[in-house]
Amino acid sequence: MSTVAIIGGTGLLGRATAQELLAHGYEVLSISLPPETAHPLDGVQYVYCDVATASDDELLALLDGVDAVAYAAGADERIAPQAPAAGFFYRANVLPTQRMARLARQAGVTSFVVYGSYFAEFAER
């Protein structure tokens, strides 16, 4: 059975992804910030971790044995940064995603899917 790690697994997209993966027989690991109100799904392993501040070694340990990563974390329309927004969204979304993709490859993960908000694009414009 394949294991999929969802970065941001307690958020809107991450939770829906977890439900779909469980329905298709995958093992699911949710790596996310602690939610204000947790409604855990049966069958999901939850690890509460800030991937932006965790060390490479900590993240590599979490990715050990993971076959695929769904990256559903980052800043979205609920955050209104100071203009211009491009630098903020680059630091909040691009750099952490690049880091996780690099670490996933290093850990032997074979698939990496990035979820994103189109609001980040519009905020830059």
Mean pLDDT per 10-residue section of the chain, whose length is 125 residues: 93 92 97 78 94 95 98 83 84 91 98 78 61
Q: What is the pLDDT of residue 87?
A: 86
- What is the model's pLDDT at position 110? 97
pTM for the structure as a whole: 0.88
Q: Options 3.40.50.720, 2.40.128.120, 3.40.47.10, 3.40.250.10; which CATH number does 3-124 get? A: 3.40.50.720
pLDDT of 70: 98
| Structure confidence at residue 123 (pLDDT) | 57
Over residues 79-114, the pLDDT tens digits come to 788 888 888 888 888 899 999 999 999 999 999 999
> Residue 48's pLDDT is what?
93
pLDDT at 92: 86
Domain-by-domain residue ranges, the chain?
A: 3-124
Q: What is the 3-state secondary structure (H, E, C) of the chain?
A: CCEEEEECCCCHHHHHHHHHHHHCCCEEEEEECCCCCCCCCCCEEEEECCCCCCCHHHHHHHHCCCCEEEECCCCCCCCCCCCCCHHHHHHHHHHHHHHHHHHHHHHCCCEEEECCCHHHHHHHC
- pLDDT at position 105 is 98
Q: What is the pLDDT of residue 36?
A: 60
